[in-house]
Amino acid sequence: MDAWSSAHMRRWITTVIEGSAPRSVNWWLSVRWIAQLHVYDRTLPAEDRREWAEAALSLTKCAERFTGYDRWTAVADAFKLRSLLVRELGPVPGDGTWDVAALLRDVLAVVTLAPDQARELAERWQTLPVEQIQLLRRHKNLLTPLVPLADRLPAGSDAERVRAWLAVRPDLP
């Protein structure tokens, strides 16, 4: 797989079926790492890096689908990769993967608390049950990729909600 093109890898991903898919999360993450190495290669053209990122995003979905890779971790991984390429290569308006507004919508669709709820819980996080502390931490991890995009947020209600979250984020455990 090291010698495959991004197109070859993406074609292969579409052929993986439930019965024959590897069941080791580490296997999927190691294959994803192959794709990510190309994503991080700043000598490659922007379009090549985005194509490799598409493969990496698909491999994360495979890890979740075939191995039970944690949903929160999978979406946080995807948000980090998307944010990185938006920052380094710029957005692609209208493309749901590389558009800042779409990224904001996707992050907001995953959060399960309101910023005010999170703030209230964060004020007493040391006394909370482990599950609630983990929930706050998951929210912090989801929001982290948006921090470097804070100055690029488009106008609108989603951006206002994200700003409210970014104000709470430093207080989360």
Q: Which residues contact 74 (CB under 8 A, 6 or more apart)?
A: 60, 61, 63, 64
Q: How far apart are CA 127 and CA 25, in angstroms?
A: 33
Q: Tell me, what DSSP letter sits at residue 146? A: G
51-92 pLDDT, tens digit each: 999 999 999 999 999 999 999 999 999 999 999 999 999 999
Give the tokens for residue 91. 């957005």
Whole-model pTM: value is 0.94
Q: Residue 96 above 90 pLDDT?
A: yes
Per residue in 58-69, is it b (16+ CB within 10 Å) or e — as a string?
Answer: bbbebbbebbeb
